[in-house]
Amino acid sequence: MINLLLTLPYLLFLLFLIGKIPFIKESGIKTNALQFAFLAKVFCGFLVYLIYAYYYGNRIEADTFKYFDDSYYLYEALYTKPVDFFKMLFGINCEGSYFDHLYYDKMNNWYRAYENSLYNDNRLIIRVNAVLRIFSFGNYHVHSIILNFIAFIGSVGMARFFLHFVKSKWKVYLAVFFIPSVIFWSSGILKESLLLFAMGLFCFFIYRLVLTKNWINLVLLILPFLLLVLLKFYVFVAFFPAILGWYFSETTRFKWKAYLLVFSVLSLIALVLGLLNPSYNFIHILVRKQHDFINMSIAFHVNSAIQMDYLDENIFSIIKAVPMGIINSLTRPWPFEIKNALFIPAIIENFVLLSLILIAIIQKVKNPIRSVNFIAFCFLFTLFLYSIIGISTPILGALVRYKIPAMPFLVIGILSLLNTSNFHFYQSQKIRKWIHMYL
């Protein structure tokens, strides 16, 4: 309780900033609505803490604690051996028995159980937490609130991007700030907080680049680009071709053909890179990831594991697995697969999404679509990500969490197709007036 009270000044200061930072104020959504959305994230961050602290219990294996705990040893070096601290912080000459003995052997997550050629994203979140300890005095909840604010900045950037194509504020507000799985899994000390920040800013700055052709926006894209590559490479692989295709379809005469051109060029680059250095072969990385995931689920007798055949290391095996992978991502967990209470919200969320898709099909998309290109981008990114995680993730709990980067795009795409003016709740003048006053 004392630790929670110590976070109050931080919370009040961040709520104050929401009403003062121009990037947030100019979002098109009223300050009170944004402050409420941020408070909802803070609440979910505390809920994540309670679930991991009292439901799961094993602090060493709990994602929200393990990076926070490991960051202590890196942070401690700031006062005992500051040169070591900055070497580890920036990844400069910080390998070998010296650093292993003094720091890494005390951590549980600096080294991954299954190392590969990709950047170890565990280290990034450990480093971020080590820096935050300078301001937090080791208070977990301060870290949670600050990371929630970072994720919130990304959500605002995403909302500003969406509002250029979907003029309904309530649809954008709902899709960005109040999808249950997104608000839960992107709150607290989790990698998804930084991932949401990176995706939101990338969307915002690339759209600004389309509008202004200003090179400054290209420079500002560097940070979210690097974060996407370093944090979740599989999300980058799904997101980058889709949004790059959208960019060229907006700025060239190729229109929808730009997607095919971008996908073909990037596939060729990936093929050449894989031939030059087999450790960067994407098919090899994907198949290895799936095999490791299946083996881990078997070794640890994971309760929510599902049957999944091992992929072969060729493109045809992957293509064959994609349809079922998309179905898994879109529909699972199924009602009879409930293993714990956390599965229930995911099942309800899937049911609502599938119902909205069905309504959109029944309506035959009567709602006038302002930007087919935008909707194509949203659905392509979703399909790419759902394919990757659906064929490589044999654990339902992980599947629910891994698909959240695509959820805002999927939901806003569906809502863009729906003619909600005929919905019963939206026909009420009081509700319309309240939505207008609130947003």
Q: What is the DSSP string of 164-233?
A: TT---HHHHHHHHH--HHHHHHTSSSSHHHHHHHHHHHHHHHHHHHHHH--HHHHHHTHHHHHHHHHH-H
Tens digit of pLDDT for each residue in 235-244? 999 999 999 9
Tens digit of pLDDT for each residue in 43-77? 999 999 988 888 776 777 788 898 999 999 999 99
Q: What pLDDT shows up at residue 435?
A: 72
Per DSSP, what are the bridge partners of residue 305?
Answer: 395
Average pLDDT over residues 410-433: 75
Q: How many separate domains does the chain show? A: 1
Q: What pLDDT shows up at residue 423?
A: 65
Alpha-carbon torsion 359, 361, 366, 369, what sign?
A: positive
Residue 282 predicted with pLDDT over 90: no
CA pair distance 374, 162, nearest whole angstrom: 9
Average pLDDT over residues 73-83: 94
Tens digit of pLDDT for each residue in 5-46? 788 999 999 999 999 999 999 998 999 999 999 999 999 999
Residue 369 predicted with pLDDT over 70: no
CA pair distance 323, 319, nearest whole angstrom: 8
Note the pTM of the prediction, 2 decimals.
Answer: 0.92
More confident residue, 224 or 58: 224
Average pLDDT over residues 315-343: 89
Q: What pLDDT shows up at residue 252?
A: 86
Q: What pLDDT shows up at residue 281?
A: 83
Q: Is residue 279 in a domain?
A: yes
Tens digit of pLDDT for each residue in 142-174? 999 999 999 999 999 999 999 999 888 999 999
Q: What pLDDT shows up at residue 133?
A: 94
Q: What pLDDT shows up at residue 313?
A: 87
The C-alpha R_g of the chain, in whole angstroms, comes to: 22
pLDDT band, very low/low/confident/very high, at 245 (cuts 50, 70, 90): very high
Average pLDDT over residues 368-384: 85
Average pLDDT of every residue of the chain = 88
More confident residue, 120 or 289: 289
pLDDT band, very low/low/confident/very high, at 419 (cuts 50, 70, 90): confident
First to last CA, the chain: 34
Q: Is residue 311 in a domain?
A: yes
Average pLDDT over residues 321-328: 93
Average pLDDT over residues 316-320: 91
Average pLDDT over residues 178-193: 91
Q: Is residue 19 in a domain?
A: no
Q: Is residue 310 in a domain?
A: yes
The tokens of 352 are what?
Answer: 């609502």
Q: Is residue 424 in a domain?
A: yes
Residue 420 predicted with pLDDT over 80: no
Q: Is residue 365 in a domain?
A: yes
Q: What pLDDT shows up at residue 360?
A: 82
Nearest to 166 by CA among 358, 428, 420, 386: 420
Q: Is residue 409 in a domain?
A: yes
- Could you list the residue range(s) of the whole structural domain that residue 300 is in? 266-439
Say which range, 301-305, 339-343, 419-423, has the weakest mean pLDDT.
419-423
Q: What pLDDT shows up at residue 283?
A: 86
* Helix, strand or coil, per DSSP, at residue 259: helix
pLDDT band, very low/low/confident/very high, at 364 (cuts 50, 70, 90): low
Q: What pLDDT shows up at residue 13?
A: 94
